[in-house]
Amino acid sequence: MSFELPKLPYDYTSLEPHIDARTMEIHHSKHHNAYVTNLNVAIAGTDADKLSIEDICKNISNYPMPVRNNGGGHYNHSLFWSILAVNDGALPTGKLMDAINAHLGGMDKFKEEFNKAATTRFGSGWAWLCVENGKLKVCSTPNQDNPLMDVSECKGTPILGLDVWEHAYYLNYQNRRPDYISAFWNVINWTQVSRRFEAANI
Ligand code: MN
Protein backbone atom coordinates (compact mmCIF):
# COMPACT_ATOMS: atom_id res chain seq x y z
CA MET A 1 0.00 0.00 0.00
CA SER A 2 1.18 3.50 -0.60
CA PHE A 3 -0.18 6.78 0.60
CA GLU A 4 -1.89 9.20 -1.76
CA LEU A 5 -2.33 12.94 -1.84
CA PRO A 6 -5.95 13.55 -0.78
CA LYS A 7 -8.09 15.65 -3.07
CA LEU A 8 -9.29 18.87 -1.49
CA PRO A 9 -13.06 19.05 -0.87
CA TYR A 10 -13.04 22.62 -2.28
CA ASP A 11 -11.26 24.75 -4.88
CA TYR A 12 -7.94 26.47 -4.30
CA THR A 13 -9.77 29.80 -4.54
CA SER A 14 -12.43 29.02 -1.97
CA LEU A 15 -10.60 30.27 1.14
CA GLU A 16 -9.81 33.69 -0.33
CA PRO A 17 -9.10 36.33 0.79
CA HIS A 18 -7.97 34.68 4.03
CA ILE A 19 -5.77 32.07 2.36
CA ASP A 20 -5.00 32.90 -1.27
CA ALA A 21 -5.36 30.46 -4.15
CA ARG A 22 -1.69 30.46 -5.17
CA THR A 23 -0.62 29.56 -1.64
CA MET A 24 -3.22 26.80 -1.49
CA GLU A 25 -2.15 25.39 -4.86
CA ILE A 26 1.56 25.31 -4.03
CA HIS A 27 0.93 24.11 -0.49
CA HIS A 28 -1.26 21.21 -1.56
CA SER A 29 0.13 20.18 -4.95
CA LYS A 30 3.83 20.75 -4.17
CA HIS A 31 4.50 20.68 -0.42
CA HIS A 32 1.96 18.09 0.67
CA ASN A 33 2.60 16.05 -2.45
CA ALA A 34 6.32 15.95 -1.62
CA TYR A 35 5.60 14.65 1.88
CA VAL A 36 3.48 11.85 0.41
CA THR A 37 6.10 10.95 -2.21
CA ASN A 38 8.94 10.96 0.30
CA LEU A 39 6.89 9.01 2.87
CA ASN A 40 6.23 6.29 0.31
CA VAL A 41 9.95 6.08 -0.47
CA ALA A 42 10.82 5.97 3.24
CA ILE A 43 8.42 3.12 4.09
CA ALA A 44 8.83 1.02 0.95
CA GLY A 45 9.57 -2.56 1.94
CA THR A 46 9.08 -1.94 5.68
CA ASP A 47 6.18 -3.06 7.89
CA ALA A 48 4.95 0.54 7.94
CA ASP A 49 3.48 0.18 4.49
CA LYS A 50 0.67 -1.91 6.01
CA LEU A 51 -0.22 0.63 8.69
CA SER A 52 -2.48 3.66 8.84
CA ILE A 53 -0.80 7.03 9.04
CA GLU A 54 -2.24 7.38 12.56
CA ASP A 55 -0.60 4.12 13.69
CA ILE A 56 2.72 5.14 12.14
CA CYS A 57 2.58 8.45 14.05
CA LYS A 58 1.70 6.73 17.34
CA ASN A 59 4.83 4.56 17.09
CA ILE A 60 7.06 7.08 15.35
CA SER A 61 10.05 6.42 17.64
CA ASN A 62 10.41 3.06 15.86
CA TYR A 63 11.10 4.72 12.53
CA PRO A 64 13.90 6.76 10.99
CA MET A 65 13.67 10.53 10.68
CA PRO A 66 12.39 10.59 7.06
CA VAL A 67 9.25 8.71 8.22
CA ARG A 68 8.77 11.14 11.10
CA ASN A 69 9.14 14.21 8.92
CA ASN A 70 7.16 13.03 5.91
CA GLY A 71 4.63 10.90 7.79
CA GLY A 72 3.93 13.83 10.08
CA GLY A 73 3.74 16.09 7.04
CA HIS A 74 1.16 13.83 5.41
CA TYR A 75 -1.00 13.45 8.54
CA ASN A 76 -0.83 17.12 9.50
CA HIS A 77 -1.72 18.50 6.08
CA SER A 78 -4.53 15.97 5.58
CA LEU A 79 -6.06 17.12 8.86
CA PHE A 80 -5.47 20.79 8.02
CA TRP A 81 -7.28 20.66 4.66
CA SER A 82 -10.21 18.85 6.25
CA ILE A 83 -10.95 21.52 8.83
CA LEU A 84 -10.86 24.53 6.48
CA ALA A 85 -13.89 26.37 5.04
CA VAL A 86 -14.97 29.99 5.08
CA ASN A 87 -17.18 30.20 8.16
CA ASP A 88 -18.63 33.74 7.96
CA GLY A 89 -17.93 34.27 11.64
CA ALA A 90 -19.71 31.14 12.85
CA LEU A 91 -18.64 29.78 16.23
CA PRO A 92 -18.41 26.21 17.46
CA THR A 93 -21.67 24.74 18.78
CA GLY A 94 -22.94 21.80 20.81
CA LYS A 95 -20.61 19.52 22.76
CA LEU A 96 -17.49 21.15 21.32
CA MET A 97 -18.54 24.60 22.51
CA ASP A 98 -19.48 23.14 25.91
CA ALA A 99 -15.99 21.64 26.18
CA ILE A 100 -14.32 24.91 25.09
CA ASN A 101 -16.21 26.65 27.89
CA ALA A 102 -15.52 23.92 30.46
CA HIS A 103 -11.88 23.11 29.68
CA LEU A 104 -10.44 26.27 28.12
CA GLY A 105 -12.34 29.07 29.85
CA GLY A 106 -14.47 30.02 26.85
CA MET A 107 -13.95 31.06 23.25
CA ASP A 108 -11.97 34.24 23.91
CA LYS A 109 -9.48 32.49 26.19
CA PHE A 110 -9.18 29.60 23.76
CA LYS A 111 -8.40 31.99 20.90
CA GLU A 112 -5.87 33.84 23.00
CA GLU A 113 -4.12 30.62 24.03
CA PHE A 114 -4.17 29.19 20.50
CA ASN A 115 -2.90 32.43 18.96
CA LYS A 116 -0.08 32.50 21.48
CA ALA A 117 0.87 28.88 20.72
CA ALA A 118 0.89 29.64 16.97
CA THR A 119 2.75 32.95 17.29
CA THR A 120 5.45 31.77 19.67
CA ARG A 121 6.29 28.50 17.90
CA PHE A 122 9.84 29.40 16.85
CA GLY A 123 10.73 28.50 13.27
CA SER A 124 8.46 25.92 11.64
CA GLY A 125 5.70 23.90 13.23
CA TRP A 126 2.04 23.61 14.11
CA ALA A 127 -0.43 24.86 16.72
CA TRP A 128 -3.04 22.36 17.88
CA LEU A 129 -6.33 21.94 19.65
CA CYS A 130 -6.40 18.37 20.87
CA VAL A 131 -8.22 15.99 23.18
CA GLU A 132 -6.37 14.17 25.92
CA ASN A 133 -8.28 11.97 28.38
CA GLY A 134 -11.55 13.59 27.37
CA LYS A 135 -10.31 17.15 27.87
CA LEU A 136 -9.42 19.82 25.35
CA LYS A 137 -5.98 21.40 25.37
CA VAL A 138 -3.92 23.76 23.22
CA CYS A 139 -0.27 23.21 22.37
CA SER A 140 2.27 23.38 19.55
CA THR A 141 4.84 21.07 18.00
CA PRO A 142 8.01 21.74 15.97
CA ASN A 143 8.63 20.75 12.34
CA GLN A 144 6.08 18.12 11.18
CA ASP A 145 5.61 16.53 14.60
CA ASN A 146 2.09 16.20 15.98
CA PRO A 147 0.35 15.22 19.24
CA LEU A 148 -0.22 11.63 18.10
CA MET A 149 3.53 10.99 18.06
CA ASP A 150 5.01 9.07 20.97
CA VAL A 151 8.01 11.44 20.87
CA SER A 152 5.89 14.58 21.20
CA GLU A 153 5.95 16.72 24.33
CA CYS A 154 2.33 17.55 23.56
CA LYS A 155 0.18 14.41 23.45
CA GLY A 156 -3.45 13.92 22.48
CA THR A 157 -5.77 13.47 19.52
CA PRO A 158 -5.59 16.58 17.32
CA ILE A 159 -8.95 17.98 16.22
CA LEU A 160 -7.75 21.35 14.85
CA GLY A 161 -4.32 22.32 13.57
CA LEU A 162 -2.70 25.39 12.08
CA ASP A 163 0.37 25.16 9.90
CA VAL A 164 2.74 27.98 10.84
CA TRP A 165 5.55 27.07 8.43
CA GLU A 166 6.40 30.10 6.31
CA HIS A 167 5.32 28.17 3.18
CA ALA A 168 1.75 28.32 4.58
CA TYR A 169 1.53 32.11 4.50
CA TYR A 170 4.59 33.88 3.08
CA LEU A 171 3.25 34.64 -0.42
CA ASN A 172 0.34 36.62 0.97
CA TYR A 173 1.43 37.66 4.45
CA GLN A 174 5.26 37.73 4.13
CA ASN A 175 6.65 38.00 7.66
CA ARG A 176 3.25 38.84 9.22
CA ARG A 177 2.48 35.50 10.85
CA PRO A 178 0.07 37.13 13.35
CA ASP A 179 -2.11 38.41 10.46
CA TYR A 180 -2.26 34.91 8.99
CA ILE A 181 -3.19 33.50 12.40
CA SER A 182 -5.98 36.09 12.76
CA ALA A 183 -7.29 35.22 9.29
CA PHE A 184 -7.33 31.51 10.17
CA TRP A 185 -10.31 32.05 12.49
CA ASN A 186 -12.37 32.99 9.40
CA VAL A 187 -11.69 29.67 7.69
CA ILE A 188 -12.26 27.06 10.40
CA ASN A 189 -14.90 24.49 9.50
CA TRP A 190 -16.39 23.99 12.98
CA THR A 191 -18.63 21.17 11.78
CA GLN A 192 -15.54 19.14 10.91
CA VAL A 193 -13.77 20.06 14.15
CA SER A 194 -16.88 18.96 16.10
CA ARG A 195 -16.95 15.69 14.19
CA ARG A 196 -13.31 15.05 15.13
CA PHE A 197 -14.01 16.07 18.73
CA GLU A 198 -16.89 13.62 19.09
CA ALA A 199 -14.87 10.83 17.44
CA ALA A 200 -11.95 11.48 19.80
CA ASN A 201 -14.22 11.30 22.85
CA ILE A 202 -15.65 7.84 22.16
MN1 MN B 1 2.57 23.08 5.23
Percent above pLDDT 70 for the chain: 99
Contacts of 115 (CB under 8 A, 6+ apart): 178, 181, 182
Q: Are 146 and 161 in contact (CB under 8 A)?
A: yes
**Separation of 34 CA from ligand 1 center, angstroms?**
11
56 Cα–ligand 1 center, Å: 19
Query: In sequence order, what are the residues at sequence separation of 6 or more whose Cβ sits closer than 8 angstroms to the Cβ of residue 169?
Result: 19, 23, 176, 177, 180
pTM: 0.97
**Mean pLDDT of all residues in 120-149:** 97
Cα 72 to ligand 1 centre (Å): 11
pLDDT > 80? residue 200: yes
pLDDT average, residue stretch 154-158? 97
Task: Kindly indicate the confidence band of residue 86, based on its pLDDT and cuts at 50, 70 and 90.
Answer: very high
pLDDT of 47: 86
Output the CA 103–ligand 1 centroid distance in Å.
28
pLDDT exceeds 80 at position 6: yes
- Non-local (6+) Cβ contacts of 155 within 8 A are 132, 147, 148
CA of 102 to the centre of ligand 1 (A): 31
Tell me the CA–centroid distance for residue 27 and ligand 1, in Å: 6
Ligand 1 centroid–CA 168 distance in Å is: 5
> What one-letter code names the amino acid at 135?
K
Mean pLDDT of 66-85: 98
Q: How far is the CA of 113 from the centre of ligand 1 (A)?
A: 21
Ligand 1 centroid vs 144 CA: distance in angstroms? Answer: 9
Distance (angstroms) between ligand 1 centre and the Cα of 134 equals 28
Which pLDDT band, with edges at 50, 70 and 90, does 202 fall under? low
User: 23 alpha carbon to ligand 1 midpoint, in Å?
Assistant: 10
Task: Find the 98 Cα to ligand 1 centroid distance in Å.
Answer: 30
Which CA distances in Å does 199 have to 47, 81, 101, 157, 196?
27, 18, 19, 10, 5
pLDDT of 62 above 80: yes
User: In angstroms, what is the span from residue 80 Cα to ligand 1's centroid?
Assistant: 9
Q: What is the pLDDT of residue 177?
A: 97
Distance from the alpha carbon of residue 94 to the mean position of ligand 1, in angstroms = 30
